Amino acid sequence: MQSDLKKVLYREDQIASRLDGLAVQITNDYQGKDLSVLAILNGSLIFMADLLRRIPLPLRLDCLRVKSYHGGTVSTGRVEFDHAALPDIDRRHVLLLDDILDSGNTLAAIIETIRAEARPLSLKSCVLLRKMKERHRPIEADYVGFDIEDEFVVGYGLDYQEQYRNLPLIGVLKT
């Protein structure tokens, strides 16, 4: 699978080191607060598992299955998820975990839905990767693992047609 990569951006040890730093920030910010983590599946699964093991706080974890790429290499602009699947996050501090901030459509749609349908005490987002590009929606993440160029990446949970998620690194797919 690694032979399908044009280049490797981040190896396993680099990712682990950055997750240590994110965990310290998040732990400090949520100390003594009722925290609910809402992970966006499937892409954030590996990121979520590795990050949350580094956060020594009591927290609730729920997942939300969202689709926006629909098998391609660019966001379609169409975000699909079941609004009824939102967990009970009223009166809690909510941290959204997602694999990548690309167009901004997915994160914006989820945040808008949560604000309209729930009453969280606070709502922040954490992404493993943030593409450095103009977004379709004016949105930024509160916590960012790495900034990357506008390239299609796979590995460490990110996929192309449901492949490459299990790579222990993040790389640019050959096109």
Q: Is there a catalytic annotation at residue 102?
A: yes
Cβ distance 40 to 66 under 8 Å?
A: yes
Catalytic residue among 4, 20, 88, 102: 102
Q: Which amino acid is at 162?
A: E
DSSP codes of every residue in 90-149: TTSEEEEEEEEESSSHHHHHHHHHHHHH---SEEEEEEEEEE-S--SS----SEEEEEE-
The number of residues in the chain equals 175
Residues serving a catalytic function are 102
